[in-house]
Amino acid sequence: MPGGGIGAAPALAEKLGKLGLVRGDDLVLHLPLRYEDETRCFAIAEAPPGEPVQVEARVVDVAVQFRPRRQLVARVRDAAGDELALRFLNFYGSQTKQLEGARDDGRPLRLFGEIRQGFLGPEMVHPRYRVVDAAAPLPTALTPVYPTTAGVSQTALRKLIGAALADADLGEPFAADAGWLERHGLAGFADAVRYLHHPPPGAPLAALQSRDHPAWRRIKFDEALAQQLSLRRAFLARRERGAPVLAAAGELGRQLLGRLPFALTGAQRRVVAEIERDLVQPFPMQRLLQGDVGSGKTIVAALAACRAIEAGWQAAFMAPTEILAEQHYLKLKSWLEPLGVRVAWLSGSLKSAAKKAMQAEAAAGAQLVVGTHALIQDAVDFARLGLAIVDEQHRFGVQQRLALRRKGSGAVPHQLMMSATPIPRTLAMSYYADLDVSVLDELPPGRTPVKTKLIADARRDEVIAAVRAAVAEGRQAYWVCPLIEESEKLQLQTALETHAVLSEELAGLSVGLVHGRLKADEKAATMAAFAAGKIDVLVATTVIEVGVDVPNASLMVIEHAERFGLSQLHQLRGRVGRGAHESVCALLYSGPLSEMARARLKIVFENTDGFAIAREDLRLRGPGEFIGSRQSGVPLLRYADLEADADLVELARGMAERLLADDPAGVARHLERWLGSREELLKA
Ligand code: ADP
Ligand code: MG
């Protein structure tokens, strides 16, 4: 029954569905969490304490006790004559009867649990047990324990999985010769799943549980291979679709560069060249531009837009927040309008008449349209979209990014995604395997590194004094309010309170406030006043986290830094150190900190490199959280670990390339086995 249903009753099937178990193949790949050793019985006196063990013993006494609380207590005795108490705090009347029955007819119990030294001698609390016939044979193999959910017993799972193993096609999905497998420490597929589900008699527990075993390595390799195949296939499928060839002499870009007060860094020049090579291809660019905070991604994007515009196409530039989008709009307009480029602005907060006008403008062919996710709304129709740029791409969901690409009329636009949240190599290799990646690994010259200080909030006075000192020197400061993720209302209240308190503590200075609930024009006015130096201290929520660029600000204070994500702290810190002045980032924390919180703040304190921070963050939190639910759309790895199994992911990547080139049937078989119906969803 390859890929077929699993023949469970509807109620059970529904519960299995929640575990992702729909087809025989799903069951085959539903691997044990751990094993229990029921192949031997210990004498009570010899069982190692505190470890799961099996014991065979006969019931000598059964009683329901009421002190200290109602419980069923049975005493059992093994062949050597040693006794053990069994305690059940939750029990059914039928259980009492069953144990009494065993006491009366002398049939032994096989008990599984941990023996502890209780008040009255050794005891097991809530052991798993079965009444057996005397001399019933012991299992010869270890017993698998599966991940499960309420209402699906281990016994039921074992039975279903056993049947699936017998029915499913366990053939090799691709031609892999035994030598190759062995060289890489991989078992054959059928051997691997049979071994892991039904360990052979005598298989040592340690070897089985070690995920270095060739059986486990094979599973992890296959899983990574499915992920690579699915990503690479999507990537190649996109190449099939035509994109506008954005060939231009490059005059517009040269003019822009000529007017800038700075020259591009080597890294910027390299990345611009990488992008320009893509733009003249007849298939859409899918490029992720990674560059640490302040590495100068905006000008790179502007130069790409110049190419599209000069070739007679439109470019769209989407940013995740209103503040950031508006800032980009103002900057791009100041760069490009003098060169005769029509730049339009589109945000959700525009009044409807203005919005209609802008939508018409986008349709009629403004050459560059900058905005928030308002750009991807249905009412916006681009006449000739040639390039879609997404800033801070990790802040958007997959669907939103795809939606912008669909705005091309006919041709698929080229896509440039930018992110300052660097993706560690192992993640880039798997979750982002469908993208080409460019990296800005050089900061513009003349920056003084930001000094980071960890300060207990009991020393707030010193921080206030530092703010005054900075302002006295003509600088400006950000003061970021504590993050309250659970409640937007509380977050707002905190921002208002922080602003009120600081206005008093910093009497005589001009203290501004921005938060997510302000109207867009209020936000914009405040940001403009801050940029113009009319506000000394800007109290802000994380709305300023991304992209905001005010070079005169030299002090960043973050309250309750322990509540923020590490990359978020790094982003916030990147708001200062943008000018020539010595800048400071003060991370205020309220103690005592947990060990984890301390370790996390230390990472930000010790590292100035966003890549290093992201790597450490990944190590502490694991990839699932790092990527976040927003990025889902890529099959997550259940078994392989990106860090520990980097060699397997790498190997899988090579194999994926090879299979896609020479073995389409193998590709289809493998994807069907691992992703089955989910594959369809992923393509959408
Ligand atoms: P990010 O990569 O964080 O988006 P930005 O594009 O906002 O960085 O650039 C940060 C600042 O550096 C901006 O003020 C920008 O004008 C400036 N900048 C960009 N490239 C250079 C360069 N090559 N030399 C000097 N300053 C630069
Ligand atoms: Mg930016």
Torsion of the alpha carbons at 374, 378, 383 and 386, rounded to the nearest 10? 60
Q: What average pLDDT does this structure show over 120-134?
A: 89
Write the residue with the smallest CA distance to atom 13 of ligand 1: 296
Residues by chain with Cβ below 5 Å of ion ligand 2: 547
The mean predicted confidence, pLDDT, of the chain is: 86
pLDDT tens-digit readout, 344-393: 998 877 778 888 887 887 777 799 999 998 888 877 888 899 999 999 87
59: pLDDT strictly greater than 80:
yes
Distance CA 475, CA 470 (A): 5
Pocket test for ligand 1, best of 257, 259, 262 (most atoms within 8 A of CB): 262
Cα angle, residue 664 at apex, residues 180 and 211 outer, rounded to 5°: 40
pLDDT at 2: 40
Decide whether any atom of ligand 1 lies within 6 Å of the 372 Cβ. Answer: no
Atom of ligand 1 minimally distant from the CA of 263: 23
Would you tell me how many other CB atoms lie within 10 Å of the CB of residue 648? 25
Distance CA 25, CA 2 (A): 7
680: pLDDT strictly greater than 50:
no
Q: Is 121 helix (H, G, I), strand (E, B) or coil?
A: strand
- Report CA(260)–ligand 1 centroid distance (Å): 11
pLDDT at 545: 65
Q: Which residues of 391-406 are buried (b: 16+ CB within 10 A; e: fewer)?
A: bbbbbbbeebbebbbe
683: pLDDT strictly greater than 70:
no
pLDDT tens-digit readout, 277-326: 999 999 999 898 988 888 899 999 999 999 999 999 999 999 988 888 88
- Report CA(504)–ligand 2 centroid distance (Å): 33
Decide whether any atom of ligand 1 lies within 6 Å of the 293 Cβ. Answer: yes
Closest CA to 173 of 223, 233, 232, 231: 223
- Report CA(226)–ligand 2 centroid distance (Å): 34
Q: Six-digit token pair at 159?
A: 């039975």
Decide whether any atom of ligand 1 lies within 6 Å of the 180 Cβ. Answer: no
Cα angle, residue 366 at apex, residues 270 and 285 outer, rounded to 5°: 35
pLDDT at 519: 84
* Number of helical H runs and strand E runs in the chain: 25, 22
- Report CA(506)–ligand 1 centroid distance (Å): 31
pLDDT-based confidence at residue 420 (cuts at 50, 70, 90):
confident
Decide whether any atom of ligand 1 lies within 6 Å of the 268 Cβ. Answer: yes
Radius of gyration of the chain from its Cα atoms, rounded to whole angstroms: 32
Closest CA to 587 of 482, 495, 499: 482
- 64: Cα separation from own chain's centroid: 50
Q: What average pLDDT does this structure show over 557-561?
A: 94
pLDDT at 185: 94
Tell me the ligand closest to 301's alpha carbon. 1
Q: What average pLDDT does this structure show over 173-202?
A: 90
Write the residue with the smallest CA distance to atom 19 of ligand 1: 296
Closest CA to 175 of 192, 194, 188, 191: 188
Please confirm whether the linkage preceding 635 is cis (ω < 30° from 0): no
pLDDT at 1: 38
Distance CA 456, CA 662 (A): 61
- Report CA(191)–ligand 1 centroid distance (Å): 55
- Report CA(554)–ligand 1 centroid distance (Å): 16
Within 219-292, strands assigned E span 286-291
Would you tell me how many other CB atoms lie within 10 Å of the CB of residue 481? 25
Decide whether any atom of ligand 1 lies within 6 Å of the 419 Cβ. Answer: no
- Report CA(481)–ligand 2 centroid distance (Å): 22
pLDDT-based confidence at residue 622 (cuts at 50, 70, 90):
low
Q: Is 172 helix (H, G, I), strand (E, B) or coil?
A: coil
Pairing state of beta strands 368-371 and 343-346?
parallel
Plot region of 392 (φ>0 → left; ψ -120 to 50 → alpha; else → beta):
left
Backbone φ, ψ for residue 158 (5° rounding): -60, -40
pLDDT at 563: 86
Decide whether any atom of ligand 1 lies within 6 Å of the 92 Cβ. Answer: no
Atom of ligand 1 minimally distant from the CA of 265: 23
pLDDT-based confidence at residue 427 (cuts at 50, 70, 90):
low
Write the residue with the smallest CA distance to atom 23 of ligand 1: 264
Decide whether any atom of ligand 1 lies within 6 Å of the 290 Cβ. Answer: no
pLDDT at 491: 81
pLDDT tens-digit readout, 561-607: 998 888 889 889 988 988 778 999 999 998 788 888 888 899 999 99
- Residues whose CB falls within 8 Å of the CB of residue 296, separated by 6 or more in sequence, listed in order: 264, 265, 268, 440, 443, 444
Tell me the ligand closest to 266's alpha carbon. 1
Would you tell me how many other CB atoms lie within 10 Å of the CB of residue 224? 27
pLDDT at 636: 63
634: pLDDT strictly greater than 60:
no
pLDDT at 279: 96
Model's pTM, two decimal places?
0.68
- Report CA(295)–ligand 1 centroid distance (Å): 6
pLDDT at 633: 45
pLDDT tens-digit readout, 510-520: 999 998 888 87
In contact, 404 and 273? CB cutoff 8 Å: no
Distance CA 216, CA 233 (A): 26
In contact, 380 and 360? CB cutoff 8 Å: no
Atom of ligand 1 minimally distant from the CA of 391: 4
Homologous superfamily of 251-440 in CATH?
A: P-loop containing nucleotide triphosphate hydrolases (3.40.50.300)
- Report CA(367)–ligand 2 centroid distance (Å): 21
pLDDT tens-digit readout, 130-171: 899 888 888 888 889 898 887 888 889 999 999 999 999 999
Q: What average pLDDT does this structure show over 410-425?
A: 81
In contact, 587 and 452? CB cutoff 8 Å: yes
In the chain, domain spans: 44-138, 251-440, 450-607
pLDDT at 628: 43
Distance CA 134, CA 109 (A): 9
Decide whether any atom of ligand 1 lies within 6 Å of the 294 Cβ. Answer: yes
Distance CA 216, CA 195 (A): 9
pLDDT at 621: 63
542: pLDDT strictly greater than 80:
no
Distance CA 524, CA 501 (A): 23
Q: Please indicate whether the domains covering 251-440 and 450-607 agree at the CATH topology level.
A: yes
- Report CA(329)–ligand 1 centroid distance (Å): 15
Decide whether any atom of ligand 1 lies within 6 Å of the 570 Cβ. Answer: no
Pairing state of beta strands 385-390 and 109-114?
unpaired
Please confirm whether the linkage preceding 52 is cis (ω < 30° from 0): no
pLDDT tens-digit readout, 472-498: 999 999 999 887 766 778 888 889 999
In contact, 87 and 69? CB cutoff 8 Å: no
- Report CA(440)–ligand 2 centroid distance (Å): 12
Please give the helix or strand (H or E) that residue 679 lies within, else none.
helix 678-683
CATH code of the domain made up of 44-138: 2.40.50.140
Q: CB-hemisphere CA count at 13 Å for 43?
A: 6
pLDDT at 436: 84
Decide whether any atom of ligand 1 lies within 6 Å of the 143 Cβ. Answer: no
pLDDT at 429: 65
338 or 143, greater pLDDT: 338
* Arch. (CATH architecture) of 450-607: 3-Layer(aba) Sandwich (3.40)
pLDDT-based confidence at residue 630 (cuts at 50, 70, 90):
very low
Q: Six-digit token pair at 76?
A: 């059992």
Pocket test for ligand 1, best of 264, 299, 573, 583 (most atoms within 8 A of CB): 299
pLDDT tens-digit readout, 243-287: 889 988 899 999 999 999 999 999 999 999 999 999 999 999 989
Q: What average pLDDT does this structure show over 431-449?
A: 81
